[in-house]
Amino acid sequence: RDRMFDVTITPLEDSRGAILAFNDVTALEEAGEMRSEFVANVSHELRTPLTAISGFIETLRGPAREDAAARDHFLEIMESEARRMHRLVDDLLSLAKVEDTERMRPTEKQDIADLVRHAADNLSGLAAERDVSLTLEGCDAPALAPADPDQITQVFTNLIENAIKYGGKDGKVTVTLTRVERDPRLRGPGLIIAVSDTGEGIDERHLGRLTERFYRVDDHRSRGMGGTGLGLAIVKHILNRHRGRLRIESTPGQGSRFSVALPTG
């Protein structure tokens, strides 16, 4: 893109010339544009469920007033739209909080294996509902790394939940924890925690953009599953704070693998 400059002109006192100062404001302009785009996206995401809820209130006041079955049906939809708004607001708050703390490195060591087990336990109901088998490997012995326990639990909750949601019915989700002495991504010792699924996979052209806010491969599918489009953006920010890395690999038709590298030192 073209660079943008703020120009100030200061005439010389002897009026024989002037000084022109060019200040490169491209980055500032870009940050401003990104912020406006984000606000526009959030407004759009909130307006959709709000419009639905307002519409159903009108219907309940009017045509559906005396029809008990219709009333129950509309109330159910309103409830699910309200839940969607709730999730969105929760995710926005998480994102803001993570961005706020991004410069503060966690210092206290936590048992990452325990946090992974915790995240998986909380999702065992969803896995059972969708006939997905959820297996943990290497999570029996403690694996210590400096971490914010709530945030790291959220990372694995988001990744495992995605693997279950997009992994296809009757799929297999495997979470594998390995300890490494050296990893090129970490420049030192660390933990690699990989979440693999046997789902439809992701086309290569999307891989680089998945951690962008509100980026979805299939908009309709994500919304149908109750997704906010913010899960992987939150994961990325949390890992930045931990000096961790996320690698996404996928073979369309076979499945995906989201692997997290966390430094232990």
Say how far apart CA 76 and CA 116 lie, in whole Å. Answer: 33
The single residue among 49, 229, 244, 263 that binds ligand ADP, judged by CB under 6 A, is: 229
Phi, psi torsion values for 6, nearest 5 degrees: -95, 125
Q: How many residues does the chain have?
A: 265
User: Which of the ranges 44-52, 69-77, 94-102, 221-229 carries the binding residues for ligand ADP, by CB under 6 A?
Assistant: 221-229
Residues numbered 91 to 150 that lie near ligand ADP (CB under 6 A) are: none
How many residues form the binding site for ligand ADP (CB under 6 A)? Answer: 21
Per rule CB under 6 A, is residue 163 in the interface with ligand ADP? yes
User: Which of the ranges 44-52, 57-65, 133-141, 220-228 carries the binding residues for ligand ADP, by CB under 6 A?
Assistant: 220-228
* Side chain identity, residue 77: I
* Contact (CB, 8 A) for 143 and 177: yes
- Provide CB contacts within 8 A for 253, sequence distance 6+: 200, 201
**What's the burial of 116, exposed, middle or buried (CB within 10 Å: 0-12/13-18/19+)?**
buried
Residues numbered 231 to 260 that lie near ligand ADP (CB under 6 A) are: 231-233, 256
As given in the structure block, the two tokens for residue 116 are: 């992974």
User: Which of the ranges 116-124, 140-148, 215-223, 238-246 carries the binding residues for ligand ADP, by CB under 6 A?
Assistant: 215-223
3-class DSSP state of 180: strand
> Dihedral sign, CA of 124, 129, 130, 133?
positive
User: Which of the ranges 20-28, 45-53, 73-81, 155-163 carries the binding residues for ligand ADP, by CB under 6 A?
Assistant: 155-163
Per rule CB under 6 A, is residue 193 in the interface with ligand ADP? no
Per rule CB under 6 A, is residue 197 in the interface with ligand ADP? yes
Per rule CB under 6 A, is residue 217 in the interface with ligand ADP? yes
By DSSP bridging, strand 172-183 and strand 5-11 are unpaired
Binding mask 45-74 for ligand ADP (x = CB under 6 A): ------------------------------
CB of 119 or CB of 163, closer to ligand ADP: 163
CB of 64 or CB of 132, closer to ligand ADP: 132
The single residue among 94, 228, 259, 264 that binds ligand ADP, judged by CB under 6 A, is: 228
Say how far apart CA 226 and CA 157 lie, in whole Å. Answer: 15
Say how far apart CA 225 and CA 166 lie, in whole Å. Answer: 9
> Dihedral sign, CA of 30, 35, 39, 44?
positive
User: Which of the ranges 11-19, 102-110, 122-130, 208-216 carries the binding residues for ligand ADP, by CB under 6 A?
Assistant: 208-216
Helix axes 26-61, 68-101, angle to 10 degrees: 160
CB of 148 or CB of 200, closer to ligand ADP: 200
- Contact residues toward ligand ADP (CB under 6 A) are 158, 162-163, 166, 197, 199, 202, 210, 215-218, 222, 227-233, 256
